[in-house]
Structure 1
Amino acid sequence: MSLNIEYEGSLYPSLIHSEESLRFAREEFQVRDDDTFIVTYPKSGTTWMQEILPLIFSEGDLTPIHTMQNWQRVPWLEQKSGKALLENRPSPRLITTHLFYHLMPKSFYTSKAKVVYVIRNPKDALVSSFHYHKMASFLENPGTFDEFIHKFLEGKAVMFGSWFDHIKSWWAVKGQDNILFLTYEEMLQDMRGVLVKLGEFLGKQLSGDAIETIAKQSKFDNMKQNNMSNYSFVPEDVMNQKESNFLRKGIAGDWKYHFTAAQTEYFNSVYAEKMKGLNFPFYED
Structure 2
Amino acid sequence: MRGSLLQYFRELDPDSLERPVVALMVDTQEKEDEVPIHTHRKGQLVLAQRGGVTCEVPSGLWMVPPRCGVWIPGGMPHSNRATANASIYFLYVDMNAAPVPHECCTLSITPLLHEVIHRLATLAPLYDQEGPAAHIVAVLLNELIEMPTERLHLPVTRHSKLRAIADALMENPADRRTVAEWGEAMALGERTLMRLVVAETGMTFSRWRQQLHIIIALQRLSAGDSVQAVSEVLGYDSVSAFITMFKKALGKSPARYFSDRAKRGEQTPAAHLS
**TM-score band, normalised by the shorter chain?**
under 0.3
Which structure would you say has the larger RCO, counting Cα contacts within 8 Å and 6 or more residues apart?
A: 1
Q: Which has the larger radius of gyration?
A: 2
Select the structure that is richer in strand.
2
TM-score, length-normalised on structure 1?
A: 0.23
TM-score, length-normalised on structure 2?
A: 0.24
